[in-house]
A = this chain, B = another copy of it.
Amino acid sequence: DSGSLQQVARILNGGLSPSDIAHLLESSPPRQRTLLWSLVDKELEGEVLQYLSDDIRSYFLSQLDPQEVASVIESFEPDDLADLLQQLPEAVIQEVLETMDEQDRQRVEAVLAYPEDTAGGLMNTDTVTVRPDLSIEVILRYLRRHRALPAITDSLFVVNRKDDFIGVLPLTTLLVANPAATVREVMHTDLDPIPVTLGDNEVANLFERHDLISAPVVSDSGKLLGRITIDDVVDVIREDAAHSLMGMAGLDEEEDTFAPILKTTRRRAVWLGINLITAFIASAVIGLFEHTIEQVVALAVLMPIVASMGGIAGSQALTLVIRGMAVGQISPQNIGWLLNRELIVGALNGLAWALVVAVAAVFWFNDLTIGLVIAAALVINLVAAAVAGTTLPLILKARKIDPALAGGVILTTITDVIGFASFLGLATLAYS
């Protein structure tokens, strides 16, 4: 009833922060979500949208006309706004830009000029800059004339007359410095500014490695263009991690946990279809050896063991290499060592478990031959899995295919085919 709805609206708009409201929306099934969204205050909508995942945000925005979109996203930071605009149709982008005032439009267009996954796409233009020859006292007076400093300002950036980046003046330094000293005397110059074209994952690695809170972004010629702040970097890290995890299962990292039935069915169907191809390839391989299976039906019983052990061993190497690549540990200098180690580890574990499986098979089926065959097939498949798991991510990356998404499927195809073919092929030789 409307009385309890009003109560919910009061709690929603009075007691919760925009990020909490966004979290609540993300945690709600479709019908409740639509109802809750309709109860959110108009003035809060923009801020709430900023915290929503792409999937859900696009849905809510798609139900507004350009005028409404423009008024809702007024409060967005230029980088968030640029990300969002990139998801809208070109015509809507233009309409939204036209409703903005000159300064805001320029800021957004500055960010829109760079791909979303680069330093340029992550940066904001809300830098506070100072000149190197001013005294600390003057800077303190200058700052006091502001009503507020931009959120997450931990440093002022020092630039010359041509706006070239020279150094960083952390607030913690500013506050303890001798008021008579000049900026040049106390500024830090050991931090390399971030090139505007650097990839977002490298930006995240820089922030993590140097414990940065904000960092200057510069053009090729060294001109200060803007700054990147840690909150956006944390989003990059989270999205990247979600992508690796969800990608392995063929899910999108922006996937809405509570997406409606039909949308979910369609998305999942694609992944199942791709994997069905893998399964049919494996079946086709088995089909080649129908005659042998007919003679020795124990082969049908044991064959999943060879394929699945290969899949497990391969996915361990695959995951290790994908992660090593993500954190920048793997290079042409050390990949040879890594491949060699994985090969030996595969062979050693292949031999060890081959022995166990062979003994079990011999006793189960009272047949020495089947033990020898499965042992040999296991060693072959575990070594092949090691090679495939280690090299696949590199090959895929070189071909600009996402290893997190495609790696697992291709690997399974390889370990299934080699597993079934080696086991049934060797059996065909042994029993003929």
Contact = CB atoms under 8 A, between A and B. Distances in A.
A91 interface: no
B293 A300 contact: yes
Contact of A349 (B208, B241, B269): B269
A415 to B, nearest CB: 12
A345 interface: yes
A305 B280 contact: yes
Contacts of A283: 301-302, 304-305
A7 interface: no
Contact of A245 (B20, B27, B146, B241): B241
Contacts of A405: none
Given A265-B349, A329-B257, A300 B286 contact: yes
Nearest to A285: B301
Interface in A324-365: 324, 328-331, 334, 337-338, 341, 344-345, 348-349, 352-353, 356-357, 360, 364
B28 A213 contact: no
Nearest to A361: B283
A405 B365 CA distance: 33
Contact of A337 (B29, B246, B287, B344): B29
Contacts of A176: 143-144, 146-149
Interface in A97-150: 140, 143-144, 146-150
A162 interface: no
Contacts of A26: 329
A131 B166 CA distance: 37
A249 to B, nearest CB: 4
B308 A275 contact: yes
A81 interface: no
A323 B140 CA distance: 46
Contacts of A275: 308-309, 312
A27 B331 contact: yes
A369 interface: no
A251 B175 contact: no
A36 interface: no
Most B CB atoms within 10 A — which of A149, A237, A323, A328?
Answer: A323
Please name the 3 residue pairs, one residue from A and one from B, whose CB atoms are nearest each other, closest first.
A241-B241, A300-B300, A249-B319
Interface of A: 17, 19-20, 23, 26-29, 51, 140, 143-144, 146-154, 171-179, 207-211, 213, 230-231, 233-235, 237-238, 240-242, 244-246, 248-251, 255, 257-258, 260-261, 264-265, 268-269, 271-273, 275-276, 278-280, 282-283, 286-287, 290, 293-294, 297-305, 307-309, 312-313, 315-316, 318-320, 323-324, 328-331, 334, 337-338, 341, 344-345, 348-349, 352-353, 356-357, 360, 364, 412, 416
